[in-house]
Amino acid sequence: MESERSPQENTARGVKSLTAQDFDMLDSVGGVRGLVEAIAPGLIYLVVYVTTGNLTPALISSLSVAVLLVVLRLIQRTPVTMAFSGIFGVAIGLFVAWRSGDASDFYVWGLLVNIAYLVVLALSNVVKWPGVGVMVEILQSGLGATSSSKESPAEDASTNSAAIEGAEGLEAAQSSKISDESTDQPALVWPTAWRKDADLMHRYTVVTWIWVAMFAARLIVQGPLYLAGESAVAALGTARLIMGLPLFALVLWLSWRIIRQPAVSAAPQD
Q: H helices of 142-244, where?
A: 153-165, 167-176, 198-227, 233-242
The pairs formed by 234-242 with CB atoms below 8 angstroms and a separation of 24 or more are 234/46, 234/50, 236/104, 236/107, 237/42, 237/45, 237/46, 237/49, 237/50, 237/107, 238/46, 240/42, 240/107, 240/110, 241/39, 241/42, 241/43, 241/46
For the entire predicted model, the pTM comes to: 0.75
16-41 tens-digit pLDDT: 888 888 888 888 888 888 888 889 99
Q: Cα 14 vs. chain centroid, distance in angstroms?
A: 5
**What are the structural domain ranges in the chain?**
14-265
Reported as a single tens digit per residue, the pLDDT across 71-124 is 888 888 876 666 666 678 888 999 999 999 999 999 999 999 999 999 999 999
Phi first, then psi: give them for residue 245, nearest 5 degrees: -65, -40
If we measure between CA atoms, which residue out of 16, 105, 94, 102 comes closest to residue 59? Answer: 94
* Average pLDDT estimate for 222-226: 95
Q: Do 157 and 77 form a contact (C-beta atoms < 8 A)?
A: no
**Measuring CA to CA, which residue among 5, 43, 13 is closest to residue 31?**
13
**DSSP symbol at 5:** S
